[in-house]
Structure 1
Amino acid sequence: MPSSDVDVDSILISLKYLGPFQIIQFMLSNIGGLIIYANNLLYVFIALLPTFRCNDLTDSQLLTYNISEGGNEVEYSQCHVLIRLQKYPNVTAEPLILDCPNGYNYTTPLEKSIISQGYLISTCTVITEMFPAKKRNLMTGLSSLIFSFTILIFEVAVYLTRHKSWRVLVITCASFSVYGFFELIFYKESLRWLFAKGKVMRAKEMVQYAAKLNRVDFDQTWQIALREIGTEYEIENTELVESAMEEHKHSTRAEEKTFEIKETTKLQEELKDELVEIKNQNTTSSSVTSSSKWIGIITIIQYSYTRSISIIIMFNWLVITVTYHSFFLLSETLSGNLYLNFLFLCLIEISSCVIYWPAIVRFGHKRPLVTAIFSGSVFLIIAAILKGFGGSSQEMDDCFMVFFMLAMLGIGSAFGGLYLYSPELYPTEVRSVGLGMCSASARIGNMMAPFARMLATYSAWAPSTLFGTGCIIGSILLLWGLPETFKKRLPQTIQELKHIEKSKKLMALEAKV
């Protein structure tokens, strides 16, 4: 049996899923959320859309256009200076239009306005692969909650530098990336990925290190892996193992019998590991040219199941990301202080994680995610209707804010839920590639989000209606087109995923018969 078929969940359970090793790796992954928020939401504060108008005309310019101070009316707009000349009393001549000869007057500092993500993928993938199936939703939900709290640190950094130049804010946020050096030193590779790629010796070293930190018997834990990958090679290479053992016995004849048995057993295990490594390397090297088409993006596109789930989940990433980031960008257009609005949105984000976490532990990923997307979309459309057609009374503004925040609660839950659900849809060997494709579609959403703020200046209800409709479509596609992964073993390879799908189809046919 190849190493990709090893039951990694059993090894993780044997290692204690909440031992010191897992806790260290888990916290290293989640603290990095500060880097993600600092890079993704920084533009909310340094890319404001300023309000502006033409600068006033000077006294000399007024004289140049033969404008008297009391007999003429001058209007300053964003792009033009309009001068209404009076030829005679109660008789107005054709207006004179000037193209802002003295430039513009900005109410927002120019250094904080617009006048002219790979880290998160690996983090979510490793966290998903770190825990066994029964505890995966519990720990990934906790991870989402910890991630949301790191946004408060970003809010504090932004607030403390609010009176400084944008360069100070950028340097402050960039300094958070120094934390990456600690991850480089202490962060370990995913055990599932090592087995899926046939890197047995590296997997053994990692299990040995984890067993030492968790104070678990390494030999007992590693026997789980040997039962899966060692039997085939033990049968095929019995003669080689026995001859090596015989040579070892002759060379250690003068030693004590107990020491000889111990060393022989150790040699036997080392030979098994070496044979497994060699076998995997030979298999890999011999099939590079013939099976390279089954690796990465080409694999996902060629296989109908992964292709269909990729289209659906990528569409959801696109519409939810553009909606999520638009909430933060539109915080500038809401009444009140920008920093208080942003803090309020951050608290709603944390609240959404607090609600979503027990939901996925109880019901799995699919139902809570669909509910969050659909409810957030409906609230968003209601908020758009109130904004566009409800008038400008204080009561309507209050109702708009209530539905706007409820929409943020739903979309915020869905945004975090996508990061937890998407990695479980792909097998280990292409999980990072699949999540990378989703992230690529999300980056398109990031590029679209600033235009939503500009569209809101022309039609206040249009962005919310557009995004709400897209999210409703995404929730329907997700409900009917994607599977539930709750407490299910993560597939290691495409072949294993194919086998699972064939088994489901066979069971469905048998049920009909």
Structure 2
Amino acid sequence: MTIPPENINVDNILHGLKDFGRFQVLQYAVISLMQIPNALNLLAIVFIGYPPQNTCKNLTDLQISEYTQDDENLSLNYGSCSIGVYNNSINSSYYLKTLPCVNGFTYDEPLHTSIVTEWDLVCSKAGLGEMTQSLFIAGQGAGALLFPSLADHFGRKPIHILSLFIMMLSALTSSVAPNYWVYAPTRFFCGVCQQGCLISGVSLSCEMFPANKRTLMSGLVAVNWGLGVTLLGVVAFAMRELSWRALCAVCALTACIGFFEIWFIKESFRWHFAKGKLEEGKKVVQFAANQNKVDFDTIWQKNVENLEELSELEKIDCQDKSDTAEEESIPREVLETKTTLNPGAEECSKKPSKMSSVAVITVLRDSGTRKISFINIFNWLMISFTYFGIYMTSNTLAGNRFLNFFMTATMEILAGVFLLKTLTKFSRRNSIAGFQIIAGLSLIAVAILKGLEQNNNNNIIKILSVCFTLLGMLGASGAFSGVWLYTPELYPTNLRSAGVGLASASSRTAGMLAPLTRLLAARLPWAPGTLFGTGCLFACALLFLLPETRDQQLPQTMEDLKILQNANKKPQVDYVNMKQTAPTS
């Protein structure tokens, strides 16, 4: 007997298996290892694309003789992108002409330090290094469009492992790229597969736990990501004397964990049930029950076999509604089970209709979802822009660049821990807004300190600048993790994917622009902090125009969303009659 997938309450099965049994904990721990290659390959550009100070190489004696024509009054000034020729007379010195860096460049770091030093990505080529990160983010956007449907069709596990291996091959290819034009496309394909690995991996992780644990899982994902980013700082420091190619190869080879996952991780039985593969799902549930030391037969009988009997009875009842004898033959225990396992089931005379996919234009057509979407788009854009921008400009901070990156990444772990605490005690909006306020005020303080630093080379100012940047990352990372949980809760079921997709697309756009802030910081050190800080504070203000979703049932329809929005409006008070009236919609 085939059971409609929507009739199987997977959450009840998960509760029967124990919310945090040995099976779920081990599976989650192994799948969480994907954060290592995902984080390393995403943010390795901070080190692989590091732009050290550069100056023009000195001219040879023959070239000096040619350009100055042996005039002893002429002198050369070697700049970062040009060579100035000056006439030094007795009373004054004045500029004559500018020469290009005909012999290339010298750097204050070895030539093998980064792609910038090896391929001279400075001056007229400045920005090409940052462009590779923009290509990676563009690849993430393509992967976000491609892999969800593939994971739904072929399963989470095969897509997850396939993405890991292709990402490893792409990153290994980039480590041996002979020139920039071979390296850049590999970054794009690496981004595509990184997103495929992340999407399928997160789906696998979350589908092992019941819905009431989604807040906890959101915080744990943030902590795991922070651990992966922190590891990059340690690896880059340990390999600081080696070529960028060695670092790139090591980041690629971390994806070898896919070989272990082939054997260890199981496909999501939630996916098996959704695809009608009852036997395959049954095997996974049985394996989980054995590992968790719970009775499989009790769980299966209560949540699946009784539903088979109910489905058969409903089919008989639909064939002849007037035949009451059939209904009288139903055992009392089964009737009681029906109301327990399938509450709110529709009458069998109503044929279930499939939820049609809704285009993004539909989200923007309705005034309620349009307002939510525009606020979300701006919110995600600013949070993503700030998050990636802080990492890309971390090498402009005073002190050791490896230590600065490590401390910045450590803030992500703290942000995940604090997010868990705040989401369990405060509302979604207040939690996210708190992180955005921390980020906004801290980064505005950084902008002010950077402005002062230009005129006053004071060590205290430099230390304060680093401290406030770390606070800014704490806020940006916490807000980023928070909106991943909050945004899906703002849309009805048939618009949820489109709504999250719009927000995610805006974050990809911001991620593509963020690397350019490193170029901006080189010219105007105070400008990135100003953009990040004011943007976060404005996004925070807009956040309070959205409804609160904590302890609220996820909206299924547009009517549910309107109820949610009205529930968040403050009741109006009639001060004449001192009566409280309901808010007008």
Q: Same fold (TM over 0.5)?
A: yes
Residue 51 of structure 1: which of 40, 50, 53 is its match? 53
Instruction: Answer yes or no: is 1:174 the counterpart of 2:237.
Output: no
Assess, with a 3 A threshold, how the Cα gap between structure 1 residues 381 and 170 changes in structure 2: closer, same or farther: same
Cα distance, 1:430 vs. partner? 7.4
* SS of aligned partner of 2:294: coil
Assess, with a 3 A threshold, how the Cα gap between structure 1 residues 367 and 501 changes in structure 2: closer, same or farther: same
5+ residue gaps, structure 2, are 126-139, 141-194, 320-333, 335-347, 572-580
Residue 153 of structure 1: which of 211, 223, 231 is its match? 231
Residue 409 of structure 1: which of 465, 468, 474 is its match? 474
Cα distance, 1:395 vs. partner? 3.0
Residue 501 of structure 1: which of 553, 561, 568 is its match? 561
Q: Please, which moves more after superposition, 503-512 or 321-330?
A: 503-512
CA contact (8 A) 1:124 1:420 kept: no
* SS of aligned partner of 1:336: coil
Residue 443 of structure 1: which of 495, 500, 508 is its match? 508
CA contact (8 A) 1:137 1:364 kept: no
CA contact (8 A) 1:145 1:353 kept: yes
CA contact (8 A) 1:127 1:140 kept: no
Letter in 2 for 1:89: I
Residue 314 of structure 2: which of 235, 238, 242 is its match? 235
* SS of aligned partner of 1:368: helix
Distance 2:468 2:245 in 1: 36
Cα distance, 1:373 vs. partner? 1.2
Q: What CA deviation, in whole Å up to 9, does each residue of 1:125-177 have, x standing for no partner? A: 44444323443323432332233223333223222222222221111111111
* SS of aligned partner of 2:525: coil
Instruction: Answer yes or no: is 1:317 the counterpart of 2:377.
Output: no
Assess, with a 3 A threshold, how the Cα gap between structure 1 residues 384 and 146 changes in structure 2: closer, same or farther: same
Distance 1:230 1:297 in 2: 40
Partner of 2:433: 370
CA RMSD of aligned residues (A): 3.8
Q: What CA deviation, in whole Å up to 9, does each residue of 1:266-324 have, x standing for no partner? A: xxxxxxxxxxxxx9xxx89xx78xx6444x75775677666554443343222212211
Partner of 2:85: 83
Cα distance, 1:389 vs. partner? 4.1
Cα distance, 1:19 vs. partner? 0.9
Distance 1:126 1:306 in 2: 29
Matches for 1:232-381 after TM superposition, within 5 Å: 232-237=311-316, 292-294=356-358, 308-381=371-444
Partner of 1:479: 544
Distance 2:524 2:422 in 1: 36
Partner of 1:418: 483
Distance 2:200 2:277 in 1: 19
CA contact (8 A) 1:196 1:428 kept: no
Distance 1:172 1:57 in 2: 38
Q: What CA deviation, in whole Å up to 9, does each residue of 1:322-373 have, x standing for no partner? A: 2112212212111222111111212222222232222222225332112101
Instruction: Answer yes or no: is 1:212 the counterpart of 2:287.
Output: no
Q: What CA deviation, in whole Å up to 9, does each residue of 1:191-238 have, x standing for no partner? A: 555556666555444433332332323343232356668635422236
Cα distance, 1:53 vs. partner? 1.8
Partner of 1:254: none
* SS of aligned partner of 2:84: strand
Distance 1:181 1:50 in 2: 38
5+ residue gaps, structure 1, are 241-264, 266-278
Instruction: Answer yes or no: is 1:466 the counterpart of 2:466.
Output: no
After TM superposition, the score normalised by the length of structure 2 is 0.69
Q: Please, which moves more after superposition, 23-32 or 217-226?
A: 217-226
Assess, with a 3 A threshold, how the Cα gap between structure 1 residues 423 and 94 changes in structure 2: closer, same or farther: closer
Instruction: Answer yes or no: is 1:388 the counterpart of 2:462.
Output: no
Letter in 2 for 1:50: P
CA contact (8 A) 1:3 1:196 kept: yes
Instruction: Answer yes or no: is 1:28 the counterpart of 2:30.
Output: yes
Assess, with a 3 A threshold, how the Cα gap between structure 1 residues 196 and 369 changes in structure 2: closer, same or farther: farther
Cα distance, 1:76 vs. partner? 1.4
Distance 1:337 1:368 in 2: 33
Q: What CA deviation, in whole Å up to 9, does each residue of 1:391-427 have, x standing for no partner? A: 4233322332232222122112222333444455567
Cα distance, 1:37 vs. partner? 0.7
Partner of 1:224: 303
Distance 1:422 1:464 in 2: 26
Cα distance, 1:470 vs. partner? 1.8
Cα distance, 1:93 vs. partner? 6.5
Assess, with a 3 A threshold, how the Cα gap between structure 1 residues 321 and 66 changes in structure 2: closer, same or farther: closer
Assess, with a 3 A threshold, how the Cα gap between structure 1 residues 177 and 422 changes in structure 2: closer, same or farther: farther
Percent sequence identity over aligned pairs: 35
Q: What CA deviation, in whole Å up to 9, does each residue of 1:471-491 have, x standing for no partner? A: 2222223332243244x5557
Distance 1:68 1:122 in 2: 68
Cα distance, 1:388 vs. partner? 1.6
Letter in 2 for 1:214: N
Assess, with a 3 A threshold, how the Cα gap between structure 1 residues 512 and 352 changes in structure 2: closer, same or farther: closer
Assess, with a 3 A threshold, how the Cα gap between structure 1 residues 512 and 417 changes in structure 2: closer, same or farther: closer
Assess, with a 3 A threshold, how the Cα gap between structure 1 residues 298 and 190 changes in structure 2: closer, same or farther: farther
Q: What CA deviation, in whole Å up to 9, does each residue of 1:438-476 have, x standing for no partner? A: 443322222111100100111111111112222222222
* SS of aligned partner of 1:449: helix
CA contact (8 A) 1:133 1:490 kept: no
* SS of aligned partner of 1:442: helix
Partner of 1:143: 221
Distance 2:70 2:516 in 1: 43
Instruction: Answer yes or no: is 1:121 the counterpart of 2:195.
Output: no
Q: What CA deviation, in whole Å up to 9, does each residue of 1:85-138 have, x standing for no partner? A: 24x633657613222233222224454043144222333344444323443323
Letter in 2 for 1:154: L
Assess, with a 3 A threshold, how the Cα gap between structure 1 residues 447 and 194 changes in structure 2: closer, same or farther: same
Aligned residues: 466
CA contact (8 A) 1:80 1:97 kept: yes
Assess, with a 3 A threshold, how the Cα gap between structure 1 residues 411 and 75 changes in structure 2: closer, same or farther: same
Distance 1:315 1:453 in 2: 22
